Amino acid sequence: MDNIAGTKSGLTWAVHISVVLLVVLWVFPTVGLLVSSFRTADQISTSGWWKSMLPSEQSETLRTAAPSTQVLENGIYVISGNLFERPGDFEISVWGIKSNDIAAYQPGDTADMGDGVSITVQVNGDYRMVSTGEFSGRRGERVFATAKTPPEFTLQNYYNVLFDPANREGMTKAFFNTLTVTIPATVIPILIAAFAAYALAWMEFPGRALLVAAVVGLLVVPLQLALIPLLKFHNDIGIGKGYLGTWMAHTGFGLPLAIYLLRNYMVGLPRDIIENARVDGATEFQIFVKIILPLSFPALASFAIFQFLWTWNDLLVALVFLIDSTGETTVMTKQIVELLGTRGGNWEILATSAFVSIAVPLCVFFAMQRYLVRGLLAGSVK
């Protein structure tokens, strides 16, 4: 199509540029969080994350070495060394010796500190402080330097959030709780739905059309309606708040989509195969297990991904059916909301925690995108 009349190369460029813009717009927020999770609290609060790739200008208070390191050279006392703890790619642009005038000198200049003391600071932080008399005191002199600091990233945040046993706000427990909620809540509805979908797709019985319509209707019933009646129900039968109720709730809420997706897929399977099997004397159970289930794998996979993403990312169901006052069963989404409330300004913790919870669904997403797309296409009511 590209070389058919009517497509101009100018337009093609416009298309490319617009797509780039769109993608950047969509990816930027997430990248911001990702980058922030690798920066220290200081870095996050002193400069925007988009500047973290470039060396940043920071003003720092540094100290020369202590007077005990002085040496006597030709009758003058000298202290020399590098201002930075770990000399590297630092580039001092200006420096000073008084806190109210931190940009008094250029690199290479010599500053007179009084009492016959003077200091010379080079661009890489090397200094040489000389004095006619002996240096005294225990600490070195303060030097204020504005330097370009090379970009620096750290894994410390992830260590703190995941592995630090002293961190009560850590995500490890919540991570495993989320996993505990998610896996049964993904696996169980698949089987139940598959059997129902087969009956609705390939078995003749009165009221079938009505049931399909009912499933489509239930597809859009808001979860909100189910909260109180089911909480009451769970309390009445004695399971209260806990994993069991949560698994059942997720199973119930996931079923309409599961049945709908699978039925749509199964209806499209070739009639011949199923009828041949019937003629050959296979029972419905055998047909289902040996023919329908293996053939429906793509639909099963797409529902499994949906249900996984939905239960992993869920907050409301966990809040209502799972998390009791002890907080032992907290999930990651709840943990993050809590952090947003109590540690709203601590971006290094927030960003890292959020990314820990986002990482798993993102991996699933990129690994199984094909099935997700297929499921979406089959699942939107036509």
Partner 1 sequence: MNPALQGLFTIILGVGGCIGYFYFSNQFLDKVLFPAKGPNAGRNINRANMVRPWLFLFPALALLGLYLAYPVFETLRLSVSERVSGGGSKFVGFANYSQMFGEPKFWEAMGNNMLWLIFVPAMSTAFGLLAAQLTDRIKWGNIAKSLIFMPMAISFVGAAVIFKLVYDTRPIDQEQIGILNAIYLWFGGDAPQTWLTIPLWNNFFLMVVLIWIQTGFAMVILSAALRGIPEDTIEAAIIDGANPFQIFFKIKIPQIVGTIVVVWTTITIVVLKVFDIVFAMTNGQWETQVLANYMFDKLFRANDWGVGSASAMIIMLLVTPILVWNVYNVRKEMK
- From 30-38, 67-75, 81-89, 151-159, span contacting partner 1 (CB under 8 A): 30-38
CA angle at residue 119 from 115 to 120, to 5 degrees? 155
The phi, psi pair for 252, rounded to 5°, reads -60, -45
> 115 is written with which tokens?
């009492």
CA distance 360 to 97: 51
CA neighbor of 198 nearest in space, from 290, 308, 280, 279: 290
- From 28-36, 83-91, 94-102, 118-126, span contacting partner 1 (CB under 8 A): 28-36
Bridge partner list, 307: none
- From 68-76, 164-172, 175-183, 269-277, span contacting partner 1 (CB under 8 A): 175-183
Smallest gap, in angstroms, from Cβ of residue 125 to partner 1? 23
**Where do the DSSP E strands lie in the chain?**
56-63, 71-73, 76-82, 91-96, 110-114, 117-121, 126-131, 142-149
- From 78-86, 111-119, 133-141, 282-290, span contacting partner 1 (CB under 8 A): 282-290
CA distance 253 to 207: 23
- Residue 90 or 253 with smaller CB distance to partner 1: 253
- Residue 105 or 312 with smaller CB distance to partner 1: 312
Is residue 117 within 8 Å of residue 131, measured between CB atoms? yes
Which residues lie closer than 8 Å to 51 by C-beta, 6 or more apart? Answer: none
26 binds partner 1 (CB under 8 A): yes
First and final CA of the chain: distance in angstroms?
Answer: 29
183 binds partner 1 (CB under 8 A): yes
Is residue 105 within 8 Å of residue 121, measured between CB atoms? yes
Q: What is the DSSP letter of 281?
A: T
CA distance 212 to 218: 10
CA distance 350 to 36: 9
Smallest gap, in angstroms, from Cβ of residue 304 to partner 1? 13
* Interface size with partner 1, residues (CB under 8 A): 121
45 binds partner 1 (CB under 8 A): yes
Per CB under 8 A, the list member of 180, 277, 295, 301 interacting with partner 1 is 180
- From 63-71, 129-137, 142-150, 350-358, span contacting partner 1 (CB under 8 A): 350-358
- Residue 129 or 360 with smaller CB distance to partner 1: 360
72 binds partner 1 (CB under 8 A): no
- Residue 97 or 255 with smaller CB distance to partner 1: 255
CA neighbor of 175 nearest in space, from 379, 369, 330: 330
Per CB under 8 A, the list member of 86, 138, 168, 382 interacting with partner 1 is 382
Instruction: For the segment 75-134, give every residue that binds partner 1 (CB under 8 A).
Output: none
Give how far Cα 297 sits from Cα of 107, 252, 266, 278, Å. 69, 21, 10, 21
- From 4-12, 107-115, 116-124, 146-154, span contacting partner 1 (CB under 8 A): 4-12
187 binds partner 1 (CB under 8 A): yes
- Residue 113 or 293 with smaller CB distance to partner 1: 293
Per CB under 8 A, the list member of 40, 47, 124, 167 interacting with partner 1 is 47
Considering Cα of 177, then 178, then 179, then 185, what sign does the dihedral take? positive
> Residue 306: which H helix or E strand, with range?
helix 297-313
151 binds partner 1 (CB under 8 A): no
Per CB under 8 A, the list member of 22, 103, 155, 273 interacting with partner 1 is 22
170 binds partner 1 (CB under 8 A): no
Q: Which residue has the tokens 């504005």?
A: 146
Instruction: For the segment 285-344, give every residue that binds partner 1 (CB under 8 A).
Output: 285, 288, 309, 312-316, 319-320, 329, 333, 336-337, 340, 344
Instruction: For the segment 225-254, give every residue that binds partner 1 (CB under 8 A).
Output: 225-230, 232-233, 243-244, 247-249, 251-253
> 259 is written with which tokens?
């049945």
